Each structure stands twice: as structure tokens, then as C-alpha cells.
Amino acid sequence: MTNLSIRPVTAIIGAEITGVDLAEPLDETTCTAIRAALAKHHVLFFRKQTITPDQHIAFAKQFGPIAAQPFAPKYGTNPEMIVLDQTSPKGDGADAWHSDNSFMAEPPVGSILRAIQVPEVGGDTCFASGIAAYEALSPAIQRLIDGLTAIHDITKPLLKGIAAGHAAADVGEMQKKWPPVEHPVARAHPVTGEKILYVNRNSTTQIVGLSERENEVLLPMLMDHIRSPEFECRFSWDTSSVVFWDNRTTQHFAVPDYRTQRIMNRVTIGGEKPI
């Protein structure tokens, strides 16, 4: 086993991992320790890493199969890796609290993001714990949402991506390929059993079984609730940074406070149907 060290960055979410070289294949003991850290801390930060795109993909594959990408990559050619190339990030979708690709029937288990080029200032990413958000709800609201489901739809993030110039796709064809899906409003973590608030502004359109007026009140409240600072941590990137987050338990927000180019490589790990 490598000399793995885990340092929490807040009491709620996030840990910095040192003593591991992500460019090298990991032994099973190290993989098990990283899995346990991810289940406990929800997002893991690795600094001082030098990895190639192939090593990035190989690292991800040690934790599961690579997820299907709903959008054809506009930047880069490797179908297993999404290249995020941004200079004007405001309004492009990543600057809203979201869980990656929750509009899929089996959303990704996790995402691994590597910084290639970062702005001189700005460009941080915030992460929030859906577990802490659920646990902070009153027992009455918990009882209300337990057992409810919500619709997640590709249309809004797709239109944002097209408008920002990051995607070129036929909207009708994409809607046929990825029709709306139903997921629990409060899903359970398959490893820990903890409840997770699982609605987000990018993809969740309505709670099933509620009237339009009831949705207008309850859904925005739940989506805004996760923005509370006590559920969050914030990460400042450099070009030796790699971040691995549990896409089930977290939402993230890419702060659009920069005007120069920011390039990131992302690999996502295939998931399971939320329960």
C-alpha cells in the first residue's frame, strides 16, 4: 500500500489525499481506502499530480466502467473523456448547482476532473453534500419528500450547452435518446444507506404527484437549500490538481468569475439506478 494520508478540509465534506501517485496503477488496498474516503468525505482532492489523459482514464477504470457520454465531445477526440474548454462560463450550466447527468436512467457514480489550464485568478469549484442537506431538513419535510420522485430531463442542460457553444446536437434526437426519467427526491447511498437530497437546478423539472402550485413552492426550496454554506467546501485549482467526487452524494458549482481560458479533462464512472 502507498503511504496514503487523508486530511478532511471541513467537518462535512471534502478531504485532501496525499501519498499516492495517480499515474501508477493502484493496489487493491489503496483503491479500497480511496473508496472508503469517498464514501465518508464525498469529494477527494489530489494535488501535485502529473498524469496523461490515458493515465487519467486508467485511474478512473480502477473504480468502475467509464460512463456513456450523452453529448458527443466538441473538444478532444477520446469518447471516454470530456474536454471542458471555457472562456465565458457564465450561464453555460456548470454555474448552477448540479449533479452530473442526473437526467440519465443510471447517472454516473462519480466524476474525476483534472485541470489542464487554469485562469490566473478565479475559476474555483464549490461542492455541497446532499447528505448534509437532507439531514438538515426538518423531520416534517423529510417525511414529506421520502417516497416522492422527481422528473429529470436533458432539455435544459442541453439547450444551455448549445447556447454556450459547447455542444452541437439535434435537440429532438437527443430528447429521444435520453427521455425524461424519474428518480427519488431523497435517494439512498448504496454503500452507506444514508439519505441524499437528489434534486438540482439543471435537470430536475418537477416532483411527481404534486400540483403545479405545490411544485412552484417545494421544488425551488429544496434546490436552494443545498446552497447553504455549512454543507459546502471550495477548491482552488492548479494544473497539478485532480478531483474525484461522488456524483450521488454531491452537487457542484463552477464559479464563473474568470475571463481567460480554463481547460479541464473529465472522466465519469458508470452508475446505477437511484433508489
Encode pLDDT of 1-52 as tens digits.
568 999 999 999 999 999 999 999 999 999 999 999 999 999 999 999 999 9
Residue 72 has a pLDDT of 61
Task: Indicate if 225 belongs to the active site.
Answer: no
| pTM of the predicted model as reported, rounded to 2 decimal places | 0.94
Residue 114, beta-bridge partner list: 242, 265
Residue 263 within any structural domain of the chain? yes
Task: Indicate if 248 belongs to the active site.
Answer: no
Residue 193 within any structural domain of the chain? yes
CATH number, domain at 237?
A: 3.60.130.10
Residue 183 within any structural domain of the chain? yes
Residue 168 has a pLDDT of 65
- List all residues 6 or more positions away from 231 whose beta carbon is below 8 Å from its beta carbon: 12, 13, 128, 129, 132, 133, 136
Residue 275 within any structural domain of the chain? no
More confident residue, 204 or 73: 204
Q: Which of 42, 56, 98, 201 is catalytic?
A: 98
Condensed to tens digits (0 to 9), the pLDDT of residues 214-224 reads 999 999 999 99
Task: Indicate if 234 belongs to the active site.
Answer: no
Domain count, the chain: 1
More confident residue, 71 or 250: 250
Task: Indicate if 266 belongs to the active site.
Answer: yes
Residue 242 within any structural domain of the chain? yes
**Which domain range does residue 246 map to?**
5-269
The CA distance from 174 to 159, in Å, is 11
The CA distance from 105 to 181, in Å, is 6
When pLDDT is averaged across residues 65-88 and rounded to a whole number, the result is 82
All cell numbers assigned to 165: 457553444
The CA distance from 163 to 146, in Å, is 36
Residue 160 within any structural domain of the chain? yes
Residue 274 within any structural domain of the chain? no
Q: Is the pLDDT of residue 211 over 90?
A: yes
Q: Which of 56, 114, 152, 252 is catalytic?
A: 252
